Amino acid sequence: MPNKSDKLVALLAGQPVIPVLRIADARRAVPLARALARGGLPAIEITLRTDDAVEAIRRVAGEVGEAIVGAGTILDPAQYEAAVYAGSRFIVSPGITKELLKASADSDVPFLPGAITPGEIMAARQAGLHFLKFFPAEQAGGAAFLKALAAPIADVRFCPTGGVSPANASTYLGLPNVICVGGSWVAPDDLVEKEDWGRIEELAREASGLRKVG
């Protein structure tokens, strides 16, 4: 089975932290994306957890040329299609279903589904997906669990998300089967609501300075 994740790896590799964003007001999407890009984190995931999420994706895709905007919390093919139409360059889901696999097979936009059990990971691998979201990372066993998967499923790599923070990000990034981590700490809700783009840029710069070991 060909590796369908190569395009996604090319988009995200080299950026240690992918900001996971909840944007309640689409007017803030463009300055937020610009602040993160200035801080060294151009690839962002805007989650479909608010009514303004799709519009936020549309604005970033249309106005922030330096950004690589993706859509997260995609639960069904209709959301997949809407996110792609809005300009998403990659799609992230907390889990994996036959319907979402079909939607990804019919789309040129790469798919990063969540998987936490060996069975889910093997099913994704058989579908040609070799780069997966490990979610919720800390609750599912954390870095120790991922390290244990590295030998038996050596050709699958991960973006751990969920409970990842500055305190443990480097531990995840030190694993051979981790490409990057997803985190919300670089753009917390309170700073976004205050429109403190300067502080968000600082947090992004700190996060972009994290590097894989080995």
Task: Report the topology of domain 6-208.
Answer: TIM Barrel (3.20.20)
CA distance 173 to 72: 21
Stretch 57-78: mean pLDDT, rounded? 98
For the chain, give every domain's residue range. 6-208
Q: Residue 71 in contact with residue 83, Cβ under 8 Å?
A: yes
Known catalytic residue: 45?
yes
Look at residue 212 in the predicted model and tell me its pLDDT.
59
Q: Is the pLDDT of residue 1 over 90?
A: no
Catalytic member of 4, 7, 45, 81 = 45
Cα(142)–Cα(42) distance, integer angstroms: 26
Average pLDDT over residues 145-149: 97
pLDDT at 214: 47
- 7 or 1, which is more confident: 7
Q: How high is the pLDDT of residue 4?
A: 82
Q: Among this protein's residues, is 133 annotated catalytic? A: yes
Residue-wise DSSP of 160-214? EBSS--TTTHHHHHTSTTB--EEESTTS-HHHHHHT-HHHHHHHHHHHHT-----
* pLDDT at residue 126 tops 60: yes
Q: What is the mean pLDDT of the chain?
A: 95
Which candidate in 63, 66, 98, 133 is catalytic?
133
pTM of the model: 0.96
